[in-house]
Amino acid sequence: MQFKHIFAAAALAATLSACSNDAQQAAQAAADKAKAAAEATKQAAAQTAQQAQAAAAQAQQAVQQAKAGDVSGATASAAQATATGQQAAASAQQTSATAQQGAADVKEAAKEAVDAAKKN
């Protein structure tokens, strides 16, 4: 949903590009913010995905160790999987916060672009 706001602001910025210089600059700023917000969210999501994959690999290792009868190894791997999973969960929350902040920034920039267009 946050991406909808980001891309809607980018579309608005493109539409306003035919307006005055002030409106064009405001529209370009909105587009730049939309691009930056999307990139920041993409990077945060990639980090979350990497952490989730690591947790899954550690959990799989714990299963294999348990099947092999290595209880202490399975316990250690399960503990690592839990810790990594908790990091992934925290990262997911950060990703969400990044997306929300990006959407808010873009919304404000789009409002400024509309206001600049109205002045002309």
50: tokens are: 């990497």
pTM of the complete model = 0.68
Residues 38, 41, 47, 48, CA torsion sign = negative
Contact, 113 vs 12, CB < 8 A? yes
Assign 70 to helix, strand or coil.
Answer: coil
What average pLDDT does this structure show over 109-116? 82
pLDDT of residue 93: 94
Asked if pLDDT for residue 61 goes beyond 70, the answer is yes
* Range of 24-28, 29-33, 46-50 with top mean pLDDT: 46-50
Task: Please give the Cα distance from 8 to 90 (Å, whole number).
Answer: 28
Residues 6+ apart with CB under 8 A from 49: none
Percentage of residues of the chain with pLDDT beyond 90: 48
29: tokens are: 């700023």
